[in-house]
Amino acid sequence: MVTTLLIGLPLVQDAMSSVQQSNSTNVTNDEAKKFNDEGLALLKLGKYNEAISYYDKALAINPNDTTALNNKGFSLAFLGKYNEAISYYDKALAINPNDVDVLNNKGWSLAFLGKYNEAIIYYDKALAINPNDVDVLSNKGLSLAFLGKYNEAISYYDKALAINPNYTIALDNKGLSLALLGKYNEAISYYDKALAINPNDTDVLDHKQAALDALSREK
């Protein structure tokens, strides 16, 4: 079981990296693109229900618009409606089964439902297409951590960090797995790396404090 050190985890991915912008060309699709773009702007503001209303407008024009399907699913996930989100990812994947963003997002929702092994299946599908996607690598690591496979989780954070050494989510998640292995000093070193990039990250600050508290209890 994952301990309380994992409470307050950051979002497991760079959220806006897995929403999509439409690349439509004709007039009808341009209208759908406008609705998608308006939905995306609302999503970035945290107005998820309003964003969904615009994705619905795009889907009324084209029910097979995978961008709108993905982004609606993503908005639903932020509202905690993970099963409903998955239903939209599934619609998108039925049209394009090789969409890395959608595969990653489905894995993300499955992980939030506690279905970590199933989440890993979708992360692996995404990594088979793009083995260098740092979001997917970090997300797979996080699911492995929730399964208690901390060393294996660290190996995926390391892969992400080899590609982007400044990826603060992977730095933080690696720190969490190290802390869960009792390697508090090493964990703190990774929290410090993350804080050097973003000193105001409250999640990382909380995780560092938890590791410092654990160290003090060992003395």
Query: What are 52-93's pLDDT values in tens digits?
Result: 999 999 999 999 999 999 999 999 999 999 999 999 999 999
Give the contacts of 87 (CB within 8 A, at least 6 positions apart): 73
pLDDT of residue 219: 72
pLDDT of residue 17: 53
Query: Which of 10-14, 40-44, 127-131, 215-219 tops mean pLDDT?
Result: 127-131
Return the ∠ at Cα 139 (arms to 73 and 205), rounded to 5°. 105
Percentage of the chain beyond pLDDT 90 is 81
pLDDT of 14 higher than 60: no
- State the helix-helix crossing angle for 66-78 and 48-61, rounded to 10 degrees: 160
Q: How many CB atoms are located within 10 Å of the residue 201 CB?
A: 19
pLDDT of residue 218: 83
Query: What are 91-115's pLDDT values in tens digits?
Result: 999 999 999 999 999 999 999 999 9
pLDDT of residue 202: 94
- The end-to-end CA distance of the chain, in Å, is 25
Q: Structure tokens of 169?
A: 């989510």
For residues 160-178, give the mean pLDDT. Answer: 97
CB 54 within 8 A of CB 42: yes
pLDDT of 11 higher than 80: no
**Confidence at 31, pLDDT banded by 50, 70, 90:** confident
Query: What are 67-78's pLDDT values in tens digits?
Result: 999 999 999 999
Distance CA 12, CA 117 (A): 16
For residues 41-52, give the mean pLDDT. Answer: 93
- Structural domains in the chain, sorted by start: 147-219 (1.25.40.10)
Q: Greatest CA span in the chain, whole angstroms?
A: 69
Give the contacts of 216 (CB within 8 A, at least 6 positions apart): none
Query: What are 113-145's pLDDT values in tens digits?
Result: 999 999 999 999 999 999 999 999 999 999 999
pLDDT of 201 higher than 70: yes
Q: Structure tokens of 89?
A: 């990812």
Helix ranges restricted to H, 45-147: 48-61, 66-78, 82-95, 100-112, 116-129, 134-146
**Confidence at 28, pLDDT banded by 50, 70, 90:** low
Which amino acid belongs to residue 178? L
Distance CA 134, CA 156 (A): 9
